[in-house]
Structure 1
Amino acid sequence: MIDVKPIAFYLPQFYPNAVNDINWGQGFSEWRSVVKAKPLFEGHFQPRLPGALGFYDLRSQEVFEEQADLARAAGVFGFCFYYYRMGNRRLLERPLHAYLEAGRPDFPFMYCWANESWTRAWDGKSDDLLLEQVYDETTKRGLIADLVEATQDSRYIRIKDKPFVLIYQVERIPDRKLWLEELRQEIWSRTGQEVTIGCVFSPGLKLEMLQDVDSVVQFPPHRVPRDGSRKLLDAETIGPFDTSRGDYFEPYDAIIEAALTRVKGFDRMYPGVTPDWDNSPRRSKNAHVVIGSTPAKFESWVRRASDVSREKFQAAKIDAPLLFVNAWNEWAEGAVLEPTELLGSAYLSALTHGISSQAVPKLSTD
């Protein structure tokens, strides 16, 4: 059996930093949103609190070691770190710098350029701009320099010996074709490495845009191709809750079927899964809450998505048998593989069983 290699998206938000201090208050990190969460209806799994790893601080190298040990034991192939670059500024960069400088843990990683503006969406104020994502020459040069540094690390994830770079919203890049061509050429000229560039699927992604990238990644629950509109639960089935918040509820089962149905129809699309989703800790209104996730359902989804990855790899529609997981540690959005106080390592175990027969991963997917 072909070994499927899960890659988990990783949020480097869990430490105090200057940008968050200015915009959210001294000492802010993602944990503040997590602990303030409250259940919105009877049986709502909030607050969702950490288990074995506790309320960690990513300024500590030991945290990376513990996370890598957990991930490796569960069969996770590597982390996909969110990377932020706006002009001459990098944001949430300290953990990524530490990962590179320390040279440990010996655990594969890659970058996803999270190219979107920072707003007060966490307060339900998406129109309140804090930092604008720009695409000027300074941004491009900084991005190239950072990728040159990261992709020369032996732990960086490679597909057919090419470093794999992911872009969250490729459709937002002006002069996209020229931009990406220069990115490829500059990294080649400085490192002698040809990169493979992927993008995360989004509703605004058009087929012609895929000509400029090598692959596309499915990103449930919201960034999956769908045949029709999203299937939401009738609010009356949820029970009493504050309707003035404007929250909406989506069944986990429907997300699974939507993701699996359409991923086969997109050549060069890597399948994605998510253990759960609930961004109500971040949003004072318009929260997206998924209903019905269990470790058993997640395990079944992982198994079916792994079969899709194997089939697509064997048919040469994707270059490696990868499976993307949203996410390792999105605690304020309820998408968490890490152990929780309530369920322990149940979702990690579900991933292990779902990928089944998974061999110990190597550092390359050649």
Structure 2
Amino acid sequence: MRRTLGLLALSAAVIATATAALTAGPVSADQPALQSTAVTRPAQPAPFVELVAPGGVGRLYTADPREVASATAAGYQRQPGTTGFVGREAKAGWTALYRLKPSASATRWLFTSSTQERDALVAQHWVLEGTAGYVATKAGAGLMELRRFTNGKEWRLAVASKTAELLKAGYTLDGPVGYVYQNWVRAGAVYFGMFNTNGHQTIIARTKEIYGRDNDWWGGVRDFHDGTHYATDNWPGEDWSYLKPSIGYYDDSLPGTLEKHITQATSAGLSFFNFYWYWDNTKQQQTVTGAALDAFLKARNKDTIDFTVGVCAHPYAPLSIPTTQYDAVAANLMRYLQQDNALRTNDGRKILNICDARGLGDGSNAQVKQFVDTVRAKARSQLGEDIYVMINQAGFDPKQVGNAGADAPYCTTDGPAVESRSYKTYLQGQRAFYNQAPGAYGRCVLSDFDERPRYPIEQTDVKAIRWMPDQSLDGYRTAVRNAVADMATSTRPSTVDNYLFLYAWNEWHEGGIIEPNERDGCAYLDILHAELSLPGAGCIANPS
């Protein structure tokens, strides 16, 4: 089912340079700007962005990323961070937040949740532009009071914690308008669906060769946990007891496994999984991770979490994707993009991630764009959807994403930091790594990188093994805080500005593990839940 977001109209001066979507006129008071249609699950709160009108007087607040883009194109200046997160739909305990201005040509806006004040202003010939979102009528978990201020020239909105700052700037308090979420990060984990008999064939074959076990996709991980001499001889005294999931060594082709993972993730407040997706160009079919994705789609609780797929077109056979197979790949991807719980942007577009673009055709911007255009066209014709395409910063210059036909870059890992073999180095360069990407962006947090369990089943040179000996849970907490701080000062487009990609749920052979484990339980998910103020009662390490 398609979720749509209505648009609010700008003043006549802004419309002259706004996009065509904003020229249809004001949204009526009976059609809220953020109302969802035809959805079966609650919409996520939306970032409420403040923009300053040209000339410096007049504050525009909007939860529609398309209006943010139109306004900034017309000379409005987006202010850092957000003014909280507003609801997208009417529900018990929440009320509409109305947007009005004194005249059609004015660039000063007043927001109110009072129908009496709204009607009184309309009677004085003010222009009612519709509903900007929904605010809670009472305080609650994660909510902070949203207040209106004035200095006689303009009105401003701010959460209660900004009161002293605005009073010092010469504003007076004009009253509360309701409660909004102070923060709402959409955090999701990268999911490696390779722990099954159809998964990583090299690991399965080498496990039989090295350890003598047939059809074991946990080779190396299980062995380091159990004390293999490959671990004890090379890294004596190391504690490997974390190398076992809390739910035990599993088969992720089973829907029951995915049901447990969904429960673990959602109990801690994660809102999506980002599944790696592979194509075999010799067999001309999906490969490696297909069984886990099938299991996810069959999970009884799949509708409690969103998901997206990341196309991993590695620049080597058989995982590269030639241009002659673009149509077949696009047709396969429709199976996932058509799902109701496909991850959407803040303006309602379904997201397709490209985790590695280097193997799309010859990897040039032109042939990556040809792939993106093919999938877009397929989505429009089959689903009636305008999709949002994001390309991973790893191996692809984020400044070239637009030239490759995509909408935004995102990240999962920090390659230079991994090569430095130091988590401290990663932390020091984390925000600079983000800042390499212009415009809209999906940030990431690296939990760890430790490929020692790959020795010797995938990497036979012990000296070439990469790992971060200075990684710690405290370091991870700092990494999460760095991401939050970057969001708090952001002036990027709001389309995906509160989205956070977490490396990784279950990359057990390379150390990217936030899935609950035997030693640490929910330690990583607990940090995320606390530092990101995520919803949910708290992580369930071992669902029944």
Which TM-score bucket, shorter chain as reference? Answer: 0.7 to 0.9
Question: How many Å apart are 1:62 and its aligned residue?
Answer: 1.4
Aligned to 1:242: none
Question: How many Å apart are 1:181 and its aligned residue?
Answer: 1.2
Question: How many Å apart are 1:190 and its aligned residue?
Answer: 0.9
Following the alignment from structure 1 to structure 2, what is the Cα–Cα distance between the partners of residues 201 and 171? 11
Following the alignment from structure 1 to structure 2, what is the Cα–Cα distance between the partners of residues 145 and 200? 22
Aligned to 1:349: 526
Following the alignment from structure 2 to structure 1, what is the Cα–Cα distance between the partners of residues 299 and 422? 42
Could you list the per-position Cα deviations for residues 282-337 of structure 1 after superposition, in whole angstroms to 9, with x for gaps in the alignment? 2232211012222222122112202323443x642653411111100001111101
Gaps of 5+ in 1: 119-128, 225-229, 233-249, 362-366
Following the alignment from structure 2 to structure 1, what is the Cα–Cα distance between the partners of residues 374 and 319? 23
Aligned to 1:96: 293
Gaps of 5+ in 2: 1-181, 225-230, 362-366, 538-544
Following the alignment from structure 2 to structure 1, what is the Cα–Cα distance between the partners of residues 287 and 267? 30
Aligned to 1:121: none
Alignment partner of 1:67: what SS? helix
Query: Which letter does structure 2 place at the counterpart of 1:90?
Result: Q
Query: Which letter does structure 2 place at the counterpart of 1:304?
Result: N
Question: How many Å apart are 1:19 and its aligned residue?
Answer: 7.3
Following the alignment from structure 1 to structure 2, what is the Cα–Cα distance between the partners of residues 114 and 132? 8
CA gap 1:161/1:209 in 2 versus in 1, 3 angstroms:
closer
Question: How many Å apart are 1:353 and its aligned residue?
Answer: 1.5
CA gap 1:293/1:137 in 2 versus in 1, 3 angstroms:
same
Aligned to 1:112: 310
Could you list the per-position Cα deviations for residues 251-310 of structure 1 after superposition, in whole angstroms to 9, with x for gaps in the alignment? 211111212223135222322112211012122322110122222221221122023234
Aligned to 1:239: none
Aligned to 1:193: 385
Aligned to 1:65: 259
CA gap 1:354/1:28 in 2 versus in 1, 3 angstroms:
farther
Could you list the per-position Cα deviations for residues 207-231 of structure 1 after superposition, in whole angstroms to 9, with x for gaps in the alignment? 334432111112224267xxxxx78
Following the alignment from structure 1 to structure 2, what is the Cα–Cα distance between the partners of residues 66 and 108? 15
Structure-1-length-normalised TM-score: 0.80
Determine whether 1:217 maps to 2:430: no
Following the alignment from structure 1 to structure 2, what is the Cα–Cα distance between the partners of residues 53 and 210? 42
CA gap 1:336/1:290 in 2 versus in 1, 3 angstroms:
same
1:6-45 paired onto structure 2 within 5 Å = 6-17=187-198, 20=201, 24=206, 27-37=214-224, 38-39=231-232, 40-45=234-239
CA contact (8 A) 2:327 2:374 kept: no
Which structure dedicates a bigger proportion of its chain to helix?
1
Match of 1:251 among 422, 425, 436: 422
Following the alignment from structure 2 to structure 1, what is the Cα–Cα distance between the partners of residues 338 and 223? 40
Question: How many Å apart are 1:350 and its aligned residue?
Answer: 1.3
CA gap 1:18/1:349 in 2 versus in 1, 3 angstroms:
closer
Aligned to 1:74: 268
Query: Which letter does structure 1 place at the counterpart of 2:399?
Result: L
Could you list the per-position Cα deviations for residues 314-365 of structure 1 after superposition, in whole angstroms to 9, with x for gaps in the alignment? 6426534111111000011111011222222211111112212x2359xxxx
Aligned to 1:304: 482
Overall identity of the aligned pairs, in % = 20
Aligned to 1:154: 340
Match of 1:85 among 272, 276, 279: 279
1:287-302 paired onto structure 2 within 5 Å = 287-302=465-480
Match of 1:284 among 454, 460, 463: 460
Could you list the per-position Cα deviations for residues 136-179 of structure 1 after superposition, in whole angstroms to 9, with x for gaps in the alignment? 423x2232122211111111101121111111222432322222
CA gap 1:149/1:331 in 2 versus in 1, 3 angstroms:
same
CA contact (8 A) 1:221 1:255 kept: yes
CA contact (8 A) 1:34 1:47 kept: no
Determine whether 1:275 maps to 2:472: no
CA contact (8 A) 2:402 2:408 kept: yes
CA contact (8 A) 1:306 1:323 kept: no
Structure-2-length-normalised TM-score: 0.55
Question: How many Å apart are 1:49 and its aligned residue?
Answer: 1.8
CA contact (8 A) 2:252 2:295 kept: no
CA gap 1:85/1:41 in 2 versus in 1, 3 angstroms:
same
Following the alignment from structure 1 to structure 2, what is the Cα–Cα distance between the partners of residues 117 and 223? 19
Aligned residues: 325
Aligned to 2:20: none
Larger Rg, first or second structure (1 or 2): 2
Following the alignment from structure 1 to structure 2, what is the Cα–Cα distance between the partners of residues 18 and 196? 28
Following the alignment from structure 1 to structure 2, what is the Cα–Cα distance between the partners of residues 102 and 73? 16
Alignment partner of 1:162: what SS? coil
**Aligned Cα root-mean-square deviation (Å):** 2.6
Match of 2:247 among 48, 53, 56: 53
Match of 1:264 among 430, 435, 443: 435
CA contact (8 A) 1:7 1:325 kept: yes
Following the alignment from structure 2 to structure 1, what is the Cα–Cα distance between the partners of residues 470 and 200? 36
